[in-house]
């Protein structure tokens, strides 16, 4: 089954927003085993949108449009799609009630007249409730073709797709698609690809797809079968082989679990407490950890010691250390981790100090980062050289720090 994506909105063409919806929908279509050959972005122009949709219907079985379902005059997606599909618009009473309920529970009590436009739907369509906004989703079916309209805001589009559209598309497939995500950290993309090249070269069903993330590699193992039970049976040997090859580098096989969640789960299971001592990352590591619900039972404190005075005052880093070795040094990182654990009474303290740029310092290049992990008195220090712009270096350092935390705990137990 061939699917095509159309993203509607002049703001996308102008570069005012990043089109994250297309990336999300592409990944989900791949997960469903759908063939995606074309992705198009078109502005809020009725004629061009109509031409784009007609072209898409001529070559694809399913066309998914995102954006342009709102209350304003330039929201033309629904009207244009209905006309192309030969359907007139009628009011959907249920959608009108949901719009009333939405405004009743919001700070904007008054409903302007243009909002009722969103309750108008193509006659005979499948209406998909929007529990996070006002514009419902729409599915139109005609002559073996499906046109799916989704709201543009990601916080509306994603829940709607997960809850309603994904199952709808899965039902249209002759076979069930089932997949498992194997997430790795501490091993590079090229190394992963080398280790599984033989599996990729010989793959049929199931298949393996690799996704490179910052400091991580994700492997999606996907199988198609008449039912889920058979698909799981096909996947099991492949997953077992990946476990044999990558061992502890696999931090989770739950697609919803992030690296920081996995680290916190590991520490919680061992009843460990954690402190972070950050310089170069300025609290980014603590922010990722505390973004996880329930992290307070592991995470005790985050210390951001950006200047030398803060390192001396809050982490008791010696003045002679900073003078003789500098803030960006193995010695400083070691004292930050050791003293951070002692001062806060934590089992573990991870420290980061480095240069994110744009300027280098003497013999210390941009991207140089030292990390130290104090784990119940044992201190491990590592030197890293990250590439990219300032933001990329800081992001890479945070991910590496999470990986280092895992490794220090696992090494201690081995």
Residues 6+ apart with CB under 8 A from 238: 199, 206, 208, 221
Tell me what pLDDT residue 141 has. Answer: 97
Encoded tokens for 278: 């950050």
Above 90 in pLDDT, residue 38?
yes
> In angstroms, what CA-CA distances link 390 with 354, 360, 366, 367, 368?
11, 12, 9, 8, 11
Tell me what pLDDT residue 163 has. Answer: 96
Above 90 in pLDDT, residue 105?
no
Pairing status of strand 216-225 against strand 176-185: antiparallel
Q: Please answer whether residues 317 and 336 qualify as being in contact, where contact means their C-beta atoms are separated by less than 8 angstroms.
A: yes
Tell me what pLDDT residue 343 has. Answer: 97
Among 43, 39, 27, 87, residue whose Cα is nearest residue 64: 39
Q: What average pLDDT does the segment 286-315 reach?
A: 97
Q: How many CA atoms lie within 13 A of 129 on its CB side?
A: 10
Q: What average pLDDT does the segment 329-340 reach?
A: 98
- E strand segments, 247-365: 250-252, 274-278, 299-304, 348-354
Tell me what pLDDT residue 110 has. Answer: 83
User: What's the DSSP call for residue 118?
Assistant: G
pLDDT tens per residue, range 357-393 = 998 988 899 999 999 999 999 999 999 999 999 999 9
Using a 10 angstrom Cβ sphere, with 0-12 exposed, 13-18 middle and 19 or more buried, the burial of residue 272 is middle
> Per-residue confidence at 340, pLDDT binned at 50, 70, 90?
very high
Rounded to the nearest integer, the mean pLDDT of the chain is 95
pLDDT tens per residue, range 161-198 = 999 999 999 888 878 888 999 999 999 999 999 999 99
Q: How many CA atoms lie within 13 A of 163 on its CB side?
A: 13
């Amino acid at each position: 089954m061939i699917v095509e994506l159309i993203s509607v909105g002049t703001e996308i063409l102008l570069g005012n927003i990043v089109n994250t919806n297309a990336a999300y929908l592409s990944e989900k279509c791949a997960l469903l085993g759908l063939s995606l050959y074309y992705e198009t972005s078109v502005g809020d122009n009725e004629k061009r949108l109509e031409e784009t949709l007609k072209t898409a219907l001529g070559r694809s079985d399913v066309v998914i449009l995102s954006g342009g379902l709102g209350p304003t005059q330039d929201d033309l997606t629904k009207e244009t799609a209905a006309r192309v599909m030969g359907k007139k618009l009628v009011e959907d009473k249920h959608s009108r009630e949901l719009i009333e309920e939405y405004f009743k529970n919001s700070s904007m009590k008054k409903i302007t007249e243009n909002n009722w436009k969103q309750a108008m739907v193509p006659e005979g369509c499948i209406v998909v409730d929007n529990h996070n906004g006002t514009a419902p989703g729409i599915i139109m079916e005609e002559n073996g073709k499906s046109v799916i309209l989704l709201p543009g805001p990601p916080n509306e589009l994603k829940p709607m797709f997960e809850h309603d559209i994904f199952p709808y598309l899965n039902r249209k497939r002759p076979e069930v698609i089932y997949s498992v995500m194997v997430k790795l950290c501490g091993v590079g993309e090229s190394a992963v690809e080398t280790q599984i090249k033989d599996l990729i070269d010989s793959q049929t069903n199931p298949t393996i797809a690799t996704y490179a993330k910052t400091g991580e590699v994700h492997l999606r193992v996907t199988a198609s079968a008449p039912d889920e039970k058979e698909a799981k049976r096909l996947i099991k040997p492949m997953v077992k082989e990946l476990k044999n090859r990558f061992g502890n580098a696999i931090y989770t096989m739950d697609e919803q679990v992030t690296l920081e969640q996995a680290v916190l789960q590991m520490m919680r299971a061992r009843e460990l407490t954690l402190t972070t001592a950050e310089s170069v990352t300025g609290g980014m590591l603590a922010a990722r950890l505390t973004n996880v619900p329930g992290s307070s039972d592991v995470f005790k404190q985050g210390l951001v010691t950006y200047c030398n005075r803060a390192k001396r005052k809050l982490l008791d880093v010696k003045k002679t250390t900073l003078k003789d070795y500098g803030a960006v040094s193995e010695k400083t990182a070691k004292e930050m981790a050791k003293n951070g654990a002692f001062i806060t009474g934590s089992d573990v303290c991870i420290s980061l100090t480095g240069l994110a740029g744009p300027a280098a310092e003497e013999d210390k290049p941009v991207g140089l980062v030292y990390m130290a992990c104090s784990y119940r008195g044992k201190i491990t220090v590592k030197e890293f050289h990250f590439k990219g712009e300032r933001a990329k270096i800081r992001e890479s350092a945070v991910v590496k720090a999470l990986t280092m935390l895992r490794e220090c705990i696992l090494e201690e137990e081995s």
